Structure 1
Amino acid sequence: MTQTNNFADSPSADIRNGYIVPFVLLTFGITWGVMTLFVVFPQYVPAFLGPMSVTHPLYILAVWCPGLVAMSLVVMSTGFSGLRRFFGRLFHVNATWPWWAFVLLGLPAVKIVGAMLNGAPMSEWLILQPFWGILGISLFMLFLGPVEEFGWRGFFLPLMQRIMTPALAGLIIGLLWAVWHIPAFFLDGTPHTAWSMMPFMRGRTRTVMRLS
């Protein structure tokens, strides 16, 4: 039987359901606000702030936004002691070192190889990099993408599971999470420009539902 990660069974049980709407509004508002500037004003914003790329500070802010919003709401609700409990759940995992190696190095490597095969931006540059360069990029990708998981699955999902079934919560969050990515498909310099939007959105929704 799969055990859901529910706030009701965790030290963060005092986080109120009222934070559901603020989380969604802030997450979409900040991420879409940042990316919309580059999409709507492609001649002016990059000239002032620099071209968009996966290492651009504003891109990192947009990607990390769900996690940063979740952390802020946890602190507002429970203080920094609650934030420590929130992250403490990361270490409640019994896994051997090969699994940790796969998670820490294998998954980012798979993502990079997939992006290269799909002709994503920086693909030609990546091909020319030595092993240590690829390893460094893999570690960077490890911390770039998963931070959003703290928001969507670590914060939002348990709150939604309080008020609905896990399947319905997974469906709603999967759809919202997929829609949240839409601006990236229109923004030069992001990997999403080399991907097809609808297959990505269907895949994201199905993945969240299966893991909920």
Structure 2
Amino acid sequence: MSYSTTAQDKKLGAGGLAVFFVITFAISWGVIGSYILCPDGMAARFGEINGSHPFFFLATWAPAIAAFAVVLLWGGLSALRGFLSRLAFWRCPAPWWAFILIVIPLVFMAGSLIKGGPLLAPLPPDGIGPVVALMFMMLLLGPIEEFGWRGVAQPILQRHVASFWAGVIIGTVWGIWHLPAFYLAGVVFAEWNFLPFFIGNIVLAILVTPIFNATRGSLLISMLFHWQLINPFWPDAQPWDTWILVLVAAIVVWWNRDMMFTREGAVTEVIPGHAGARS
């Protein structure tokens, strides 16, 4: 498999990455910060914010909005079509499918059991239906972020640093980006401790990195990975899920050490050429 780098992709470099980060933080921190600084005024005008509020979706979609803006600004509509073609990259080595579909749920289950919780999240009185509906609604939240983190940030960073360090950088930014939500009543983050969550963001960004590179920059597989992290069927295992994931990440990094600490095999194209689109 190989990529043919487009002229548009060559133009989209460090400057584009900087603009991506600025837009991402401006939208998310602007929206959430308004509710933190002026809770009564914002609630009176726009309603109390929660996980299904339009402004919460807007804040969550900020990385995707920033990614689309950057790709359009640097390459136009043709570049956006090339960028979105990465949604069709579905081939993934079998061990990584097993990791996403089996190992991640087991981490949440084990973490919950350690803290004395259930194997699966308790069903509401209405039964399984609302949980299934919530699971599909989650597709429109966290996974959409991947247009930005893995769609734009990861490939550009991997042009300059080894994939492990690209994951560390994105995980650090990703964790800091979430920080205001921990001061916002009415969302799940308010019930969590920030430090394990922050460490978890870094660990997860490292874990998804070899998957991202093995799938030649697939947005689809990155979104599936993210979806598993917020699947409502998995129990709340904070903070034990983080500590288990640290151990898992250490094993994954050691197993893939020949590629994680070099730029060999790293995907560096935001806008793939025709060879990449067929792969």
Using the size of structure 1 for normalisation, the TM-score is 0.79
Alignment counterpart, residue 19 of structure 1, candidates 16, 21, 30: 16
Structure 1 stretches lacking a partner, 5+ long: 118-122
Shift in Å, 1:131: 2.2
Structure 2 stretches lacking a partner, 5+ long: 116-120, 210-279
Aligned to 1:202: 199
CA distance in 2, matches of 1:154, 1:10: 15
Structure 1 residues 145-200: Cα deviation after superposition (integer angstroms, max 9, x where no partner): 11111101111110111122212221111101100000001101111111111000
Q: Which amino acid aligns with 2:10?
A: D
- Larger RCO of the pair (alpha carbons < 8 Å, separation 6+): 2
Shift in Å, 1:32: 0.4
Is 1:141 equivalent to 2:142 in the alignment? no
Shift in Å, 1:61: 0.5
After TM superposition, the structure 1 stretch with the greater mean CA deviation from structure 2, 10-19 or 180-189, is 10-19
Aligned to 2:178: 181
Structure 1 residues 22-77: Cα deviation after superposition (integer angstroms, max 9, x where no partner): 11111111100100110111111111110001111111000010011101111121
Q: Which amino acid aligns with 1:53?
A: N
3-state SS of paired residue (1:163) = coil
CA distance in 2, matches of 1:128, 1:87: 40
Is 1:54 equivalent to 2:64 in the alignment? no
CA distance in 2, matches of 1:131, 1:15: 48
CA distance in 2, matches of 1:31, 1:10: 32
After TM superposition, the structure 1 stretch with the greater mean CA deviation from structure 2, 130-139 or 48-57, is 130-139
In structure 2, relative to structure 1, the CA distance for the partners of 1:10 and 1:199 (3 Å cut) is farther
Using the size of structure 2 for normalisation, the TM-score is 0.61
Q: Which amino acid aligns with 1:23?
A: F
CA distance in 2, matches of 1:127, 1:92: 36
Shift in Å, 1:13: 2.4
Contact persistence 1:14–1:78 (CA under 8 A): no
**Aligned Cα RMSD in Å?**
3.1
1:31-180 matched pairs, under 5 angstroms: 31-94=28-91, 127-180=124-177
Shift in Å, 1:94: 2.5
Q: Which amino acid aligns with 1:16?
A: L
How many residue pairs align between the two structures? Answer: 192
CA distance in 1, matches of 2:34, 2:205: 29
CA distance in 2, matches of 1:89, 1:10: 14
In structure 2, relative to structure 1, the CA distance for the partners of 1:169 and 1:152 (3 Å cut) is same
More helix per residue: 1 or 2?
1
In structure 2, relative to structure 1, the CA distance for the partners of 1:10 and 1:206 (3 Å cut) is farther
